[in-house]
Amino acid sequence: MNDRVSGNGSAGLRGNGGESSLPLLIDPFDRRVSYLRVSVTDRCDFRCVYCMSESMTFLPKAEVLTLEELDRLCSAFVRRGVRKLRLTGGEPLVRRNIVWLIERLGRHLGDGTLEELTLTTNGSQLARFADDLYAAGVRRINVSIDTLDPEKFAEITRWGRLEQVLDGLAAADAAGLRIKINAVALRGVNDDELVDIVEWCGDRGYDLTFIEVMPLGEIGGDARLDQYLPLSMVRASLRRRFTLDESDYSTGGPARYTVCRETGGRVGFITPMTHNFCESCNRVRLTCTGTLYMCLGQEDAADLRAPLRESDDDALLMGAIDEAIGRKPKGHDFVIDRRRRGPAVSRHMSVTGG
């Protein structure tokens, strides 16, 4: 029922509660926007070296949307044909009363207007929340782990403990959640253990995705230049140990997957630097302040908080969403090289949640 049926993007979608049909979100390049990533907080209990500086200044509470407002915003997108919601941060599970929001959004799974509700987490709070996530309708999560070495893990995350995250994974397993591990490839940091990570994930039945460092936010000096490791080099290194067969598997995101014959597990690659995935981009990103970014790699954004708060009726909000989607660009302009000082985009990854 959610497929586009006309060339001008005016196909109808039955809204929640028997509402009249609303048009799907189609961008200027004829791509349907069906995936919304929502940063529910910019705060995090880690300070990963590629994501944020150690001395971050976080948003004042008054600027952050309430959980009720986040529910209303996300639900508006669901009514316009978004079929997948991913909650991110910062670290989403440090947001107070976050389970309430997850339970509220889970109602869209029950009425069939939403296909998947999931989240990306650093895993630090999973031991506490895994059962609640499953009960709310979450069935799959992404957990960020860049190394299996406890000391190196502490260096990368600055404030994190690997043992705490592994306990969280055990709790997620026990709750019945499917787990995908996200690992950022970091030159001189974890490039000597990528094979070990593939084997570790394969042994536990976890999917794995490697991600290139992205030039988002100032993290100090030339750190990101020094960290950058093209995934073409990662794939070449892995192929010396494994047979990676191309796969058409997709989770709706930007990863391109292979299947590792030796482990039977999926190994994906997200390559915004060496080979972007913009031609099939189906997603937009909402921050905890109600700012909508139509592209992770561009500064252009739309304020949805003002129309959200101006009226209890969603007409203004829907108009603002339409105007924003009409400005969605064809792709990003990420570049990492020593001739371009500073990040390609000034905001930190924690602002838009990746």
Letter for the amino acid at 202?
G
| Highest mean predicted confidence (pLDDT) among 4-8, 53-57, 61-65, 214-218 | 61-65
What's the chain's average pLDDT? 86
Fold for domain 29-352?
A: TIM Barrel (3.20.20)
Q: Order across the sheet with 244-246: list the strands.
A: 244-246, 256-260, 266-270, 207-211, 178-184, 140-144, 116-121, 84-88, 35-39, 283-286, 291-293, 301-303
Confidence check: pLDDT of 340 > 70: no
The residues facing 144 across adjacent strands are 182
The model's pLDDT over 109-122, given as tens digits with 9 standing for 90+, comes to 999 999 999 999 99
- Per-residue model confidence (pLDDT) at position 274: 54
Ordered by start, the domain boundaries in the chain are 29-352
Percent of the chain beyond pLDDT 90? 69
Examine the pLDDT at 16 and tell me if it is beyond 50: no
Measure the CA–CA gap between 39 and 289, rounded to whole angstroms: 9
In the numeric block, which tokens belong to residue 354?
A: 């990746």
Local confidence band at 10 (pLDDT 50, 70, 90 cut-offs): very low
| pLDDT of amino acid 276 | 56
**Residue-level pLDDT at 52:** 75
Quick: pLDDT tens for 189-245.
Answer: 999 999 999 999 999 999 999 998 876 445 444 555 677 889 999 999 999 999 999
pLDDT range class, residue 321, cuts 50, 70, 90: very high
Tell me the residue ranges of DSSP E strands in the chain.
Answer: 12-13, 22-23, 35-39, 84-88, 116-121, 140-144, 178-184, 207-211, 244-246, 256-260, 266-270, 283-286, 291-293, 301-303
Instruction: Report the distance separating Cα 277 and Cα 214, nearest Å.
Output: 13
Q: With 80 as the cut, is the pLDDT of residue 285 above it?
A: yes
Higher pLDDT, 333 or 209: 209
Q: pLDDT category, 351, cuts 50, 70, 90? A: low
Residue 226 confidence (pLDDT): 76
- pLDDT at res. 59: 87
**Whole-number pLDDT of residue 353:** 57
pLDDT at residue 14, as a whole number: 32
What pLDDT, on the 0 to 100 scale, is given for residue 21? Answer: 77
Please, which pLDDT band fits residue 252 given cuts at 50, 70 and 90? confident
Q: Which residue did the predictor score with more confidence, 47 or 182?
A: 182
Q: What is the pLDDT of residue 349?
A: 52
pLDDT, tens digit, 9 for 90 and up, residues 146-173? 999 999 999 999 999 999 999 999 999 9
Is the Cβ–Cβ distance between 125 and 169 less than 8 Å? no
pLDDT digits (tens, 9 = 90+) for 29-39: 999 999 999 99
Range with the poorest average pLDDT among 102-111, 269-278, 310-319: 269-278
The more confidently predicted of residues 273 and 51 is: 51
Q: What percent of the chain has pLDDT over 70?
A: 82
Which residue would you say has higher pLDDT here, 166 or 6? Answer: 166
Of the given ranges (144-158, 252-266, 274-288, 303-317), which has the lowest mean pLDDT?
Answer: 274-288
Which residues, at least 6 apart from 263, have a Cβ–Cβ distance to it below 8 Å? Answer: 198, 199, 201, 202, 203, 242
Highest mean pLDDT among 18-27, 48-57, 179-188, 224-233: 179-188
